[in-house]
Amino acid sequence: MNTPLRHLATVMLVMFLALMGSATWVQFVQAPDLNADSRNVRTLYREFGNARGPIVVAGGAVARSVKVDDPFGYQREYTDGELYSAVTGFYSVVHGSSQLERAANDQLTGRGDQLFFSRLRDLVTGRKPEGAAVETTIVEAAQRAALEGLGDQQGAVVAIEPSTGRILAMVSTPGFDPNALASHDVSAANTAYAELAAADGNPLRSNATLEIYPPGSTFKLVTAAAALESGEYDASSTLPAPVRLDLPQTSATIGNFGGGGCGANPITLADALRVSCNTAFAQLGMDLGDDALREQAERFGFDDASLTIPMSVTASRFPAEANAPQTAQSAIGQFDVAATPLQMAMVSAGIANDGKVMRPYVVERVRAANLSVVSQTEPEVLSTAVSPGTAAQLTDMMVGVVANGSGTSAQIPGVQVAGKTGTAQTSDDAAPHAWFTAFAPADDPQVAVAVLVEHGGSAGSEATGGRVAAPIARAVIQAVLGS
Amino acid sequence: MATVEPHRVRAGRGVELGLLVLALALAVGAYALVGLGTSDEVPADVLGYGTGLAALALGMHLVLRWRAPFADPVILPVTVALNGIGLAMIYRIDVAYEGAGKDHGFAGRQLLWTTISVVLAAAVLVCLRDHRTLRRYTYTAMVVGLVLLGLPLLPVLGTSINGARIWVNVGSVGMQPAEFAKLALAVFFAGYLVTHRDTLALAGPRFAGLQLPRARDLGPILVVWAGSIAVLVFERDLGTSLLLFGLFVAMLYLATERVSWVVIGLLMFVGGAVVASSVFSHVAARFDAWLHAMDPEIFDRLYGGSGQLVRGLFGMASGGLFGTGWGQGRPDLVTYAESDFIVPSLGEELGLTGLLAILMLYVVLTQRGMRAAVGVRDGFGKLLAGGLAFVVAWQCFVVVGGVTRLIPLTGLTTPFLAYGGSSLLANWIIVALLLRVSDDARRPAPAARGVRPDEPLPGEVEAGPTRVPAASATRAPGTGAGVGAEPDDEHPTERIGGLA
């Protein structure tokens, strides 16, 4: 009977090996997924039990954990919560977290791979682990200027340092006060959350990075870039600019803003951009073809769902397929073209940086609790959108827009500003979105900015990008240059 | 002939004592660490606790020196270690339950049950001088086993907890008679199979490379199968049903060496389970919760959902490789963290490392049991020890496999670790029986020591002194004729000297 006994002993051994395998599967292989599951309250409890690292703007903590005497141990507190809500996001015991609080969670809790050695030291010395400080690239003055500029209007502002990709300002209105959501009083936190979730303009979702809007005429920068890159056009090339452009295959037509002409017919490419001539750019788009436009848009960062700053960013889109009339509309930023304010800031920043789009980021460095730097973000080229020559021509054309075109209200005495307005139709009965994207100084760009004011803001149907959005961009640029 | 020196065998009691000290250090250390982890101070009663545990373990050790001096020296320390880890974890969960204002006091009761279990296990070793005595009670054991299985169905005694009708209330104490039924049935199977193994192993038709049994020999397996399915249907207890059927199939294989029995058994059980899952919603729900555990809808389902299972997985995942440490995790977030889900609790606080170490303890325990089965010379002892060692391993597999989502979750307790008096007592008695068999297996020169009964029990094929060791190794594989002619056993080599 010993042979079957030995066989059975082997079977028992195999059973235990299977158990060890499944335990390893759960506790090692699947553990990151299980720990990230939103139903896993354990992760929250543990995080709250340790001191979570602060989120820092210019040396001051805008989000920090304060020791309190309740089961959670630490209370998350936000200074100027509303001002930075699009950057910090919220951190709630019942509703999870968002934005940096979520994307930089590993660093803030001290669980990131980079913090392995400080964790090991805490383990050996028996010290309670502490989270690392996340230092942001945000410039307080620019952030304040953006929020004040938007005021009660719904919209977003993003400012980028063109040469590095550092995000200097990121504001979404309406914002929210993360302190209300961070409350350990569950019913109070629930009420606050329910109010915000139901509020007009969806305050919990950042307009700057998560919502996409038709970019309107600001997209003409991309169309102009595609034209210059094709080698068949330069700034003085002439384009037909009728009052109305008949679209092929359909009875639809495209007109200009205000219904008039563009001041000349034919018109040069530079002037067409300066006065934002729809018919000229629609025809140009059809001549270039949708493939050329799509390729150019993607080189500026459209259709890239993988971008993180480190928060995830909604991909801006250019339609995957477009016939001639759809291409005409796409060329002026209508039809299915849609972009985040961050994306339109990246377009300006790319032009400002000799055609190279830098990867945008909001975390400058991560510092462990003992103040040693654990990681420092190095600027990185995301893509080369246009050649330096094209970038220079586009810059000159954009300077014209602000000097004596549709964007004159962005002028700053003593500083040459390059910009482009946009007024994007959304539907027949709603006021258009007002856009403005710009960079300055034109000869030595320090800041690129995109401003979106939803449905024209307080100006309503009278709004244009030049009237409503450009002054906000000007204020942000001045704040960055003055700081 | 008589001048051959008997082979010296180390009884191993000294080794056992050393290992016991380690096991006790582990158990008491764990208890102290729970205190440090939860309230930053060592529990005030740690000395008393340590002394009590040590007294129990050393008492058992002395009983072994007295009544089973050649018993396997590893089995007892491993059992003490497992029991001690279980006690520490139950105490830790008690602390958490107390903090949350929930029902607590499990640790004290488990300690009481540990005491009762160790005393009864010692009593088994003292009273049962030879495991073959049990063979006299083969059919008594069957009746006892069946009655125990049926007890929960009785109207006054039985209680239904969470849908499974497997509890019996005696006064204020709840018992799970199935735990004892497995013990009684293991005795019955061993006695029955050792008598009928030749018949069961006789040649039948060959089909697809399998030696099939004759139709009329299917009787006993049909009866046990029907019993298991009855447990599943009437007591709604998939775990016990799986446990008993697995035990029977394994012992049938041990007795007959015929893979066909295993295949037939598995097919019958899978068939029964499939039918049951289509007829009974609670069985289907178990499968649903296993296959689609992470589904939000199934996770949130109030009855038969996967919430408990997935929360257990969350706990284990949060433990990661090294665990949170004693008292630093939140095992109390899972319902029944102290009984059915004690393995996820341990996984959370001791990490994958700790859990693997615990599984290794079970490997050592069960393989030592199998070693005793290989070593003992009578067929009944082989079947009994093999079956008991297997049932511990099998129970671990069913419960740990269930909580780690290897197989569908069934309600069984983890031997020695989980809270529950019935389970603890039954498993300690299993350990006592394994120790008893291993004593017989490792005892040198039985004729010289004269402790064996003078007369072989009726029907037992005793290894005769004239047997030549070489003969036992030449079993013709696969021929039914060889089985009938073969005595029950082969000699362990350490005995040869005395017999020659």
Coil, strand or helix at A351: helix
pLDDT of residue A161: 95
When pLDDT is averaged across residues B73-78 and rounded to a whole number, the result is 96
pTM over 0.95: no
Q: Is residue B478 part of a domain?
A: no
Q: Which residues of B touch A2 (CB under 8 A)?
A: 374, 382, 489-490
Among partner residues B257, B320, B359, which is closest to A3 by beta-carbon distance?
B257
pLDDT of residue B222: 75
CB contact under 8 A, A23 and B488: no
pLDDT of residue B5: 58
Worst-scoring range by mean pLDDT, A101-115, A139-153, B45-59? A101-115
Q: For chain A, list residues whose CB is within 8 angstroms of any CB belonging to chain B.
A: 1-9, 12-13, 15-16, 18-20, 22-28, 30-35, 37, 39-43, 45-46
Structure tokens at B475: 């079993």
Nearest of B22, B122, B33, B121 to residue B81 by alpha carbon: B22
User: Does the pLDDT of residue B494 top 50, yes or no?
Assistant: no
pLDDT of residue A184: 84
Active site amino acids of A: 217
Q: Is residue B376 part of a domain?
A: yes
How many domains in chain B? 1
- pLDDT winner (highest mean) among B263-277, B293-307, B383-397: B383-397
CB contact under 8 A, B253 and A4: yes
User: Does the pLDDT of residue B457 top 60, yes or no?
Assistant: no
Residue of A nearest to B332 (CA): A42
CATH architecture for segment(s) A216-366+377-482: 3-Layer(aba) Sandwich (3.40)
- pLDDT winner (highest mean) among A101-115, A155-169, B91-105, B310-324: A155-169
User: Does the pLDDT of residue B446 top 60, yes or no?
Assistant: no
Question: Which domain, by its residues, includes B45?
Answer: 13-449
Structure tokens at A407: 């964007």
Worst-scoring range by mean pLDDT, B48-62, B407-421, B465-479? B465-479
CB contact under 8 A, B320 and A37: no
d(CA A109, CA A111) in angstroms, rounded, equals 5
d(CA A465, CA B364) in angstroms, rounded, equals 77
pLDDT tens, position by position, B111-155: 999 999 999 999 999 999 999 999 999 889 988 988 888 888 776
Phi, psi of B480 (to 5 degrees): -65, -30
Q: Which residues of B touch A8 (CB under 8 A)?
A: 250, 253-254, 370, 386, 390
When pLDDT is averaged across residues B245-256 and rounded to a whole number, the result is 89
Choose, out of B298, B301, B346, B363, the residue to mutate when testing the contact with A (most A CBs < 10 Å).
B363
pLDDT of residue B335: 82
- Its ipTM equals 0.85
CA distance A17 to chain B (A): 9
pLDDT confidence tier of residue B462, bands split at 50, 70 and 90: very low
User: Does the pLDDT of residue B196 top 60, yes or no?
Assistant: yes
pLDDT tens, position by position, A177-230: 999 999 888 888 888 999 998 988 889 999 999 999 999 999 999 999 999 999
pLDDT of residue B175: 75
Q: Is residue B6 part of a domain?
A: no
pLDDT confidence tier of residue B57, bands split at 50, 70 and 90: very high
pLDDT tens, position by position, B294-332: 887 777 776 667 888 888 999 999 888 988 888 888 888
User: Does the pLDDT of residue A471 top 60, yes or no?
Assistant: yes
User: Does the pLDDT of residue B179 top 70, yes or no?
Assistant: yes
* End-to-end Cα distance, chain B: 6
- pLDDT winner (highest mean) among B78-82, B297-301, B493-497: B78-82
pLDDT tens, position by position, A26-80: 999 988 888 888 777 776 666 666 788 899 998 889 998 888 877 677 888 999 9
CB contact under 8 A, A26 and B347: yes
B223-256 residues labelled b (16+ CB within 10 A) or e (exposed): ebbebbbebbbebbbbbbbbbbbbbbbbbbbbbb
CB contact under 8 A, B397 and A30: no
CB contact under 8 A, A27 and B383: no
pLDDT tens, position by position, A367-422: 887 788 888 999 999 999 999 999 999 999 999 999 988 888 888 998 999 999 98
pLDDT confidence tier of residue B269, bands split at 50, 70 and 90: confident
pLDDT of residue A392: 93
Beta strand ranges found along A137-222 (DSSP E): 155-160, 167-173
pLDDT of residue B342: 92
Distances from the Cα of A357 to the Cα of A164, A168, A273, A291, A448, angstroms: 9, 16, 21, 20, 11
Choose, out of B406, B417, B483, the residue to mutate when testing the contact with A (most A CBs < 10 Å).
B406
Structure tokens at A384: 């080369």
Q: Which residues of A touch B382 (CB under 8 A)?
A: 1-2, 5
pLDDT of residue B475: 41
Choose, out of B33, B249, B313, B407, the residue to mutate when testing the contact with A (most A CBs < 10 Å).
B313
Q: Where are the domains of chain A?
A: 216-366+377-482
Q: Which residue has the higher pLDDT, B201 or A441?
A: A441
Q: Which residue has the higher pLDDT, B41 or B216?
A: B41
Among partner residues B352, B370, B406, which is closest to A5 by beta-carbon distance?
B370
Q: Is residue B461 part of a domain?
A: no
Return the H-helix or E-strand segment holding A67. strand A60-67
Nearest of A423, A359, A439, A436 to residue A391 by alpha carbon: A439
User: Does the pLDDT of residue B188 top 60, yes or no?
Assistant: yes
Nearest of B278, B283, B252, B284 to residue B265 by alpha carbon: B252
Mark out the alpha helices in A166-277 (DSSP H runs). 178-182, 186-198, 220-230, 269-274
Q: Is residue B265 part of a domain?
A: yes
Nearest of A155, A98, A83 to residue A312 by alpha carbon: A98
pLDDT tens, position by position, B29-56: 999 999 888 887 888 889 999 999 999 9
A–B: how many Cβ contacts below 8 A? Answer: 142
CA distance A72 to chain B (A): 13
Do A134 and A53 form a contact (C-beta atoms < 8 A)? yes
pLDDT confidence tier of residue B474, bands split at 50, 70 and 90: very low
Structure tokens at A107: 């660093």
Mark out the alpha helices in B235-378 (DSSP H runs). 238-256, 259-279, 281-291, 296-300, 307-319, 342-375
Residue B467 burial (CB count, 10 A): 14
CB contact under 8 A, A26 and B405: yes
Q: Which residues of A touch B33 (CB under 8 A)?
A: none
